[in-house]
Amino acid sequence: MRVLIIDSEKCTGCRMCELACSSFKEGEFIPERSRIRIVADALEGWSRPAVCLQCEDPMCMAVCPVQAISKTETPQGDRIVEVNTEKCIACGRCVVACPFGAIALFHKSKAIKCDLCGGSPRCVEFCFYGCLQFVELTETEYAKRTRKITALTRRACKEIGTEEPLRRRAVFSLEASRVTPGPGVSLDTGEGCP
Amino acid sequence: MLYGYKGKLLHIDLTREVSESVPIPDEILMKYIGGRGLGAKLFWDLVSPEADPLGPENIFMVLSGPLSGTMAPCTGKHLIVTKSPATGGWLEAYSSGLMAPQMKFAGYDGLVITGRAKHPVYVTIEDDRVDILDAHDLWGKGAFTTEKYVKESFHPDCGTICIGPAGENLVPFACVSSEYFRKAGRGGAGAVMGSKNLKLLAVKGSGGINCANVQGLYDLITKHYEKYKQSPVGSARKRYGTPLTLDITNAIGMLPTHNFSKGQFNRAIGKIDKDGVASATVADRACYACFLSCSKRTKVKEGVFKGLEIDGPEYETLAMLGSNLEIDYLPAIMRANYLCDDLGMDTISAGVVIGFVMECFERGILTKQDTGGLNLRFGNYDAVLQILELIASKRGFGAFCSQGVRAMAGSLGAGSEDFAMEVKGLEFPGYDPRAAWGAAITYAVTPRGACHRRAWPATKELLEGGGPFTTENKAEIVWKLMNENCVMHSLIVCDFPSKFIPLSVAEFAEYFNIITGLRYSEQDFIHRAETIETLIRRINIREGITAKDDFLPKRIIEEAHPEGPTKGKIIGLDNFLRMRSEYYSLRGWDDEGVPSQATIDKYGFEEEEEIAL
């Protein structure tokens, strides 16, 4: 299956991903409602995207009191964690639970998060620097990634305590961007992927 | 309401500590586009000719354009418009960062700041909430510390503009900072903020920007990205950024060296040129919504400045604080760049100011007694770094330098006026007009003083027509380029795509049409550019600027470079006046540079609605 991977070193801070995401999802350029957000320190000269990892054991799903969050797949079989907006009661527990600040609530809205645009993520399409890629993983690679996410989630939950979501995003986005097996993954792994 | 625009301004009165939203009629937006055009309209309507640039009557505006905050590439720029303390006339200064997009997300096409706060303040704007806060603790702090404070205490994604000590101390070449290393550098906008006791302004918006045809926009961006990928010039620019320009200007004798007495600096090669900067580069950075990432993050790897990191230095800084001062040690230029950024000073004017006092020192017009013991020989970067700090705080010899070259030459006399490199009080940028004479006319007639950004005719001069050392067609080349840039700067698009992909006015017109839903042709835009240029001319005339101010230092008109490709080439007064008069006539202005009644009538200034606060 395919996953969104982030090569933080390549991010230049142009924020095109936020604009692509929000315009596709909301019909207007509104980064505040982008599912992918840039964390940056221009003085220190770095930036990187923060976005949902589509966890195998999602904390957001675990805490949802009305089972509005579930694990599902895009038509092409990419695993995603999805919010059923009809069921969502906008209680905000998922926002508090996600250690990566990757799910959000806005004024009078339901919880919103990345759903990989149904299998063709717009942020990847408009990332002109190769920082965001959508790549096919083998079962072994995917399992390795899942183990890393689980370990990071545990640690993040412990360390982050009551930090507000905005700050969580900043604290763990770098490590979150490294959960995918690194240099072994190439963009060219098509259907014949070993 | 038009797509793309927000249709209103936020007016903040610092004297009364109140703010209000001011609607802008659609007709005005449609006529003046935004950015530079809208700034001209607002300046004409709102800024009194009697207003002292550093008095509470002056108005300070931050403006966006119709493409700002959207995905249209290379549009992450904002524009500051105010009356310049350097020239006493029209000032526009551009920078990039999150300011323009965040203003739009907060619901405003621009901010209009009036009055003067009773004590130092900073202002935060979150959608329709405006807070005017006490800035005593920030006053005196560098621009970096100031911005970092507000990013941490207000919002990490806020757009900001702020000043350093130079702005507080009303240095007429104090700049306005954003995103730490981005500067609205020219003409002293930072001093205007300082005069208003305004240390910083931050905006965070949670709203969105509508676009008439989002899918059309996606397609257009993809198409232009492909075009850019095919462009060898575009790729080279992405790789090297603006330092690549130094290799070109040095080759053709255009690189200011030794206070513009020479046009080449051989010691630059491999040290402060594209390769010099590339060897210090550690990462690429991009402005908002840009796919060109021309900004270079550099780091000093060894020596006394080891560990220093900045975004830059850009070409202008390499030229004005490098070759112009005969400094070939990149880490020293980076340190000077860092100091200027933190102190809040324009690196261009600072370089010209120091070049001027160095030449005065060399000629004995200034002595060690005057300079407070500083040995101001060319190449002495220690002295440069000391002077920068003295200027920003107006201490010792720095107080004298902080006046700018025009005032210094005025008080020194002794022929120093001939090599005081300024027009209308604004110091020269990093291109010597003697290497391609079109720049002579550009520098003379551009409304904010010596400025290369209204038109950079050298490429056309070298590739078309009679070559760089003639007056033939120069006025026409400059006139056309100025019109094109006026469109780009009213949309507020960076200069890079138009020059290096290249994307034409017609191509950017497509972005405008797709976003706003209007249907403007290239000709519609050029007509608006003509309108805007004439309105800005009227502004400067109202401020008392005349043809005699459209003039160049004697060094440019009458001196030749001693060697290189420009050796022996003298522009001469007659040639210069001929080009100037041709330019006036192309604009429909008389011999004194005053727009004729027919021209004024043509652009319909009298019929349009006046904007009042």
Q: What is the CATH number of the domain that holds A174?
A: 3.30.70.20
Domain for residue A134, yes or no? yes
∠ Cα A29 B486 B437 (to 5°): 140
Assigned domain for A194 exists: no
Q: What six digits make up the tokens of A99?
A: 């250690």
Is A168 domain-assigned?
yes
Chain A positions in Cβ-Cβ contact with residue B280 (cut-off 8 Å) = none
- The stretches of B505-596 forming alpha helices (DSSP H) are 505-516, 522-542, 554-558, 573-587
What percent of chain B has a predicted confidence (pLDDT) above 70?
100
B307 to chain A, any CB pair closer than 8 A? The answer is no
B285 contacts in A (CB within 8 Å)?
A: 12-13, 42, 45
Check whether B38 has a pLDDT greater than 50: yes
Closest in B208, B289, B311 to A16, CB measured: B289
Q: What residues of B are in contact with residue A45 (Cβ under 8 Å)? A: 282-283, 285, 297, 309, 311
Task: Give the pLDDT mean for B494-520.
Answer: 93
Which pLDDT score, from 0 to 100, does residue B49 have?
Answer: 97
- Whether residue A186 lies inside any domain: the answer is no
The pLDDT value recorded for residue A161 is 64
pLDDT of B312 higher than 80: yes
List phi, psi (to 5°) of A159: -75, -30
Q: In this complex, is the C-beta atom of A126 within 8 Å of any C-beta atom belonging to chain B?
A: yes
pLDDT of res. A157: 80
Distance CA B324, CA B356 (A): 10
Selected residue with higher pLDDT from B461 and B88 = B88
User: Average pLDDT, whole number, for chain B?
Assistant: 97
Buried b or exposed e, range B521-549, using 16+ CB within 10 angstroms: eeebbbbbbbbbbbbbbbbbbebebebeb
- The minimum CA-CA distance between A30 and chain B, rounded to whole Å, is 4
pLDDT in tens, B124-138: 999 999 999 999 999
A23 interaction partners in chain B (CB closer than 8 Å): 71, 211, 214, 217
Please compute the mean of the pLDDT values over residues B399-404 and round it to a whole number: 98
A105 touches chain B (CB under 8 A): no
Q: Which helix (H) or strand (E) holds B63?
A: strand B60-63
Phi, psi of B103 (to 5 degrees): -60, -45
Q: What percent of chain B has pLDDT over 90?
A: 97
Interface of B with A in 90-109 (CB under 8 A): 97, 101, 105
Q: How far is A56 from chain B (nearest CA, A)?
A: 30
Supply the pLDDT for residue A190.
Answer: 35
pLDDT band at A101 (very low <50, low <70, confident <90, very high): confident
Closest in B282, B286, B291 to A13, CB measured:
B286
B553 upstream amide cis, omega within 30 of 0: no
Q: Do A129 and B179 touch (CB under 8 A)?
A: no
pLDDT bin (cut points 50, 70, 90) of residue B506 is very high
pTM of the shown model = 0.96
- Cα separation of B168 and B343, whole Å? 10
Residue pairs between chains A and B whose CB atoms are closer than 8 Å: 91
Residue range B573-603, pLDDT digits in tens: 999 999 999 999 999 999 999 999 999 999 9
If we measure between CA atoms, which residue out of B159, B161, B236 comes closest to residue B205?
A: B159
B252 pLDDT above the threshold of 90: yes
Helix (H, G, I), strand (E, B) or coil at A42: coil
Mark yes or no for CB contact B208/A15 under 8 Å.
no
User: Does residue B529 carry a pLDDT above 60?
Assistant: yes
Note the pLDDT of residue A191: 34
Contacts of B589-594 with CB under 8 Å at 24 or more apart are B589/B534, B589/B537, B591/B547, B592/B546, B592/B547, B593/B445, B593/B537, B593/B541, B593/B546, B593/B547, B593/B550, B594/B537, B594/B541
CA distance B354 to chain A (A): 27
Look at residue A122 and tell me if it is in a domain: yes
User: Does the bond joining A65 to the residue before it have cis omega, within 30 degrees of 0?
Assistant: no
Residue A192 included in any domain: no
- What residues in A contact B214, CB-CB < 8 Å? 23-24, 27
What does the pLDDT look like over B432-482, one tens digit per residue? 999 999 999 999 999 999 999 999 999 899 887 679 999 999 999 999 999
Q: Residue A33 and residue B208: Cβ atoms within 8 Å?
A: yes
For residue A187, what pLDDT is reported? 40
CA of A121 to nearest chain B CA: how many angstroms apart?
Answer: 14
Model confidence pLDDT, tens digit, residues A131-146: 999 999 999 999 999 9
Res. A194: pLDDT tops 70: no
Query: Would the CB atoms of A28 and B181 count as touching at under 8 Å?
Result: no
Interchain CB distance below 8 Å, B291 and A20: no
pLDDT digits (tens, 9 = 90+) for B164-198: 999 999 999 999 999 999 999 999 999 999 999 99
Contact A129 B221 (CB under 8 A): no
Which pLDDT score, from 0 to 100, does residue A184 have?
44
- Domain extent, residue A113, equals 2-180
Given a cut of 90, is residue B554 above it in pLDDT?
yes
Distance CA B181, CA B189 (A): 16
| Three-class SS state of A38 | strand
The tally of domains found in chain A comes to 1
Nearest to A43 among B70, B144, B157 (CB): B144
SS3 of residue B563 by DSSP? coil
Residues near A108 by beta carbon (within 8 Å), at least 6 away in sequence: A90
Rama region for B187: left / alpha / beta (φ>0; ψ in -120 to 50; rest): left
> Which residues on chain B are in Cβ contact (under 8 Å) with A29?
69-71, 208-209, 211
**In-domain check, residue A49:** yes
Domain assignment present for residue A188? The answer is no
What is the mean predicted confidence (pLDDT) over A24-42? 95
Report phi then psi at B348, rounded to 5: -70, -60
Q: Which of B480, B605, B477 is nearest to B534 (CA)?
A: B605
Smallest Cβ–Cβ distance between B284 and the set A12, A22, A126 belongs to A12
Chain-wide mean pLDDT for chain A?
A: 88
